Amino acid sequence: MVSVANIVCKTVGVAGMSLAVYDAYAMAQHHSLAGSLETSADVYEKAVAAERSNTSASHVTSAMQSKIANLRMNNPIVPIIGKAKGFITGFISSLGDNIMPITLSALAIAAKGFVQKCGAWGLGIYGVYQVAKEGFGLGKSTAVDK
């Protein structure tokens, strides 16, 4: 028979895991945009540098370099690759930053008995700590305080 404590622990675990995964997704979206812009800027910089550095004074070579630079700068695949790279980087980075609540949530969801309760209580304490620290600024020094 399922006890009330078991249901509460699993609910707390699912809520904690949901928040951690949502945070990872939101950060991945943010890094996705930044990665797209960064990759496009890098390709643009290299294309312009290649176009501006002629090895001979040939009109044909100059025109060819200009056309290739335009193709490189207007390539639609470059921003897509940058977005994917940024998304993956942001998602994994955020999961790494949230390793403590993910671990406690996993314990609250998957474990049984005392360990499950420790995971749920630990997640609750961690949540209260984060609200106090990040929300109210307790124990956090800023440049305004100095």
Q: Where are the domains of the chain?
A: 4-135
Phi and psi of 135, rounded to 5°? -80, -50
pLDDT of amino acid 1: 55
Q: What is the pLDDT of residue 63?
A: 82
Q: Nearest-CA neighbor of 62 among 51, 46, 74, 78?
A: 51
For residue 91, the model assigns a pLDDT of 96
3-state DSSP assignment of residue 102: helix
How confident is the model at residue 68, as a pLDDT?
Answer: 83
- Residue 76, phi then psi, degrees to nearest 5: -75, -15
For residue 53, what pLDDT is reported?
Answer: 76
Splitting the chain (146 residues) into consecutive groups of 10 residues, what average pLDDT does each group show?
Answer: 87 96 95 90 84 75 82 87 94 95 96 94 95 88 76
What pLDDT sits at residue 104? Answer: 96
Its pTM surpasses 0.75: yes
d(Cα 133, Cα 105) in Å, to the nearest integer?
Answer: 20
